Each structure stands twice: as structure tokens, then as C-alpha cells.
Structure 1
Amino acid sequence: MNLENYVIFKGTKDGVTVLFEEDAPFEVLCEQLEKKVQEAGKFFDSVKTSLAFKGRSFSHEEEQELLRIITDYTTMEISFLKTENNELMQLTSLLEKEITPYNLTKFHKGSLRNGQKIEFDGSVVLIGDINPGAEVKATGNIIILGQLKGMAHAGCEGMADAFVAAVYMAPVQLRIGDIITRFPEENKRGPKSPEYAFVQEGQIFVMPLS
């Protein structure tokens, strides 16, 4: 493959996707990313957009370096980041965290329809779907053993390390603490693996659980 094609930017109606060559050395990808961001000039400046990294998985440190390059050379405001990173914190370790007084958990069996809402002072595990127009709000974490297509607000009283997990995640609106985001339409189509969302450095990240 031509060296120039190791990093490719693609614009969609939902945001910007950066395609990375799977087998290229990380240092080469960084060099190409920096070059292409600089060549883009003012194209990305003051743009609020979602950003997706595709083509390969990166470690947390590598993701941070790629983001640093982008933010160093542009004033792009990233509202949503989607990656293919599989080197994740284990969900069990997240659940085992000391989260007093959020360690109470409500289990609900059954789907929520339009207009229905669950609010709980603690974490919520829902066995079913959250359909459009339905909402779950918790001071702790939210785990959906089904489809999340409505609204979910975890950490609603300031729990910064709250997370939302779902077998199929395509919410109308997702909120963790004070951070709010809407999923790009391209991330709501077709089958995909279970995912979880969490806040890091003021942004909501969405990662696959598999």
C-alpha cells in the first residue's frame, strides 16, 4: 500500500472517520496523521464533530497520542469518539469498584415502552429493551441486557466513573454525569457486539465488550 494511504480521512454526514492501515508501525501512523492534519489547514478548526478510529485496535496510550496529534494541530471539538479498541477494562472490575453510596442495584425484568421511565438511587440492571421514548436514570451504572434505543443517564448525581453497557447500544441520547452525546446514525445500523460507554477527559468513549 502507498505510504500516503496508511491514514485516510473520510467525512460522513455523522462526522469524521479516520481509517488506519492495520499492519503499519504505530510511529508511521503518527507521522502520517500529523502530516495530513497539518495539510488540512483550517478545515477542521472550530468544527464540532464525532470522530471514529477504524481499521485496527489501539491501546489506551496510543489512542491518547492520536488524539493529542489531532488536538495539537486543530481546534476541532470532538463530541463523540468511537474506536475498535479491544484492550478494555474488564466489566467485572468496574462492577467491583467501591462506589458507595451507589452500590445498591435495582434489577428490572421487562422492556420499557415509549413514555416509561425508571429512576433509581444506585445502579440499574434491566433485562429487556429500552425503546425510543423510554428512559433509565441512575446515580450509579446502567446495564441493559437487551437493546438501548431510548435514553440513558448514568451517574446523574455526579458519579464521574459511571458507565452504561448494553447488548445493543443505539440510544437516542446518552448521558454520563454532566456529559451528553447523541449517537451518529451510522452507529445505529446493523448488528454489532455488546458495548459500554464511559467518560474520560471530558468525553464519552464507546468500546466493544468482546
Structure 2
Amino acid sequence: MDNSVIIKGSNSGITVFLDSEMAFEDLLESVSEKFKSASKFFNNANMAISFDGRDLSAEEEKRILNVISDVSELNIVCVLDENNNMKEIYEDAVKKAIASVDVSEPVVQPVNDMASDPKTACMFYKGTLRSGQVFESDGSVVVLGDVNPGGKVVAKGSVIVLGSLKGNIFAGVDGNENAFVVALEMSPMQIKIGEIIARSSDVGTKITKGRNKTKVIEPKIAYVYDQNIYIEDLEQNALDDICLD
């Protein structure tokens, strides 16, 4: 059995384990054969992907992704880095989101409809937004990383930060006060939803410091209610108040 390429599912998508010794061109062929044989299994699924077992250059990673796209029906929405803790953070966020949502009556919107509707369109940003950096979108945004102080996200839709939010978030910039902001760690300098603004003195979270103190990161959601921005734990009762119209 050829074990040069092994595909394993995870809560964040799939992880592809690559042989560390095989010549890259031979490995590329193995990737092609493995994903070609699994093509029907993916069936146009939208997934995150990560690579393990072998250090890849940017060019090698790009070539592997191109091969996967050519031979399979898998839609890769983002690439997660196995060399940092983003994968664990992403998985924890997915687990908590699944646990907090009542899925007895799911609402499913076709991908084609989502792509044509700016209100439901979503862009992914992988990495850390540092001071002075701005990421803008005509729809919603998912940041796979941190937004540092001085970093900024500007979106017509909602913003989800799978990391620490310590910068500035402008959601619903076209006046949409139904937009919301979610972060694994919510410590923003400023949040603006629609025309409502809250600064760090209004929404800052308390941080426990001291010896033998453990900082627990709890996902939180910020939304507008009665012309004020409220920040709550990301739980079902908070999600029930969200309107996506």
C-alpha cells in the first residue's frame, strides 16, 4: 500500500500527511492519484486543508493545491498552518459553535446563491493583521488569525475573528446594524456596527493577571440592540437575537 500521501478528516477540514523523503515530483503524482480516487467522496465540499509531515515551500504548496483542484471536486476555502496553534484555535471555535447552535431545523443556502448575494458573500483572510494594515470586503469576513492593535477590518457584512481581536472592526459599514462581530478573544480598540460605535473603554474585557492565574479565552459576540453595542458569550441565546436580513 502506498502511504506516501494520507488524507485524514478533522473538525477543521482535512489534513494531508505527506512523505518527507519522496522526491517532490513523485509526491505530486501520488497526491494526484490519492485525490483522484477520493474525488466522489468530497462531492464539491467546502473544506479547510492543512499539510503535515513535510516542510513545503510556497511554490510547492501552490502546485499541490493546483493538482488537488484539477483532479477532485473539493473546494478549498483556506489553508491552515500546522506549525502554529491556529488549527487548534479553529477547531475549538468550530466545536463551540456546533455545540451552541440548535441544528434541529437547519437553514441551508446554496453556494451559488451566496456568491451572487453580497449580504451572504464571505471572504477569508489567513494571517495576522498588524498595525496599519486594513482588510476590506463587500461582504462578511473570517480572519484566520489575530487583529493586532492598529489593524483594521472593514466589511459591509459581519466579521468573525478566529484569534485575538485587539484592533478595529467596522462591520455593516453600509448602515447594516444587523451585522455582528465574533472573536475568540474580544479586546478591541474600537468596534463600529452600522453607525453605532463602541471603544475599548466601553467594551474592553477584563484580564486576570497574577501568579497561578490562567487566562481562559471564551468566544464572544458583539451586536447592536436598542442603539447600543452589546458583547456577550457566544451562546445560543445570543445567536437567537441575531437577524441576518
Q: TM-score, normalised by structure 1?
A: 0.52
By how many angstroms is 1:186 displaced?
6.0
Write 1 or 2 for the structure with the bigger share of helix. Answer: 2
Deviations 1:69-94 (A, max 9, x none): xxxxxxxxxxxxxxxxxxxx94999x
Aligned twin of 2:226 = 201
**8 Å CA contact 2:188, 2:204 repeated in 1:** no
Unaligned runs of 5+ in 2: 1-99, 209-214, 236-245
Count of aligned residue pairs for this structure pair:
121
Q: TM-score, normalised by structure 2?
A: 0.45
Q: Structure 2: which amino acid aligns with 1:189?
A: I
Structure 2 CA distance for partners of 1:104 and 1:175, relative to 1, 3 Å: same
Aligned twin of 1:152 = 169
Instruction: Tell me the distance in 2 between the aligned counterparts of 1:112 and 1:161.
Output: 24
Instruction: Tell me the distance in 1 between the aligned counterparts of 2:182 and 2:206.
Output: 15
- Where has structure 1 moved over 4 Å in runs of 4 or more? 89-93, 95-100
1:174 pairs with one of 183, 188, 191: 191
Instruction: Tell me the distance in 1 between the aligned counterparts of 2:145 and 2:175.
Output: 26
Aligned twin of 2:121 = 104
Instruction: Tell me the distance in 1 between the aligned counterparts of 2:204 and 2:230.
Output: 16
By how many angstroms is 1:183 displaced?
2.7
Q: How does 1:84-95 map to 2 (within 5 A)?
A: 90=101
Structure 2 CA distance for partners of 1:125 and 1:101, relative to 1, 3 Å: same
Structure whose alpha-carbon radius of gyration is higher: 2
Instruction: Tell me the distance in 1 between the aligned counterparts of 2:150 and 2:204.
Output: 20
Give the superposed CA RMSD: 2.8
By how many angstroms is 1:130 displaced?
0.2
Aligned twin of 1:187 = 205
1:187 aligned counterpart, secondary structure: coil
Structure 2 CA distance for partners of 1:116 and 1:193, relative to 1, 3 Å: same
Q: Structure 2: which amino acid aligns with 1:126?
A: V
**Higher RCO (C-alpha under 8 Å, 6+ residues apart):** 1
Q: How does 1:48-63 map to 2 (within 5 A)?
A: none
Aligned twin of 2:155 = 138
Q: Structure 2: which amino acid aligns with 1:115?
A: G
**8 Å CA contact 2:159, 2:180 repeated in 1:** yes
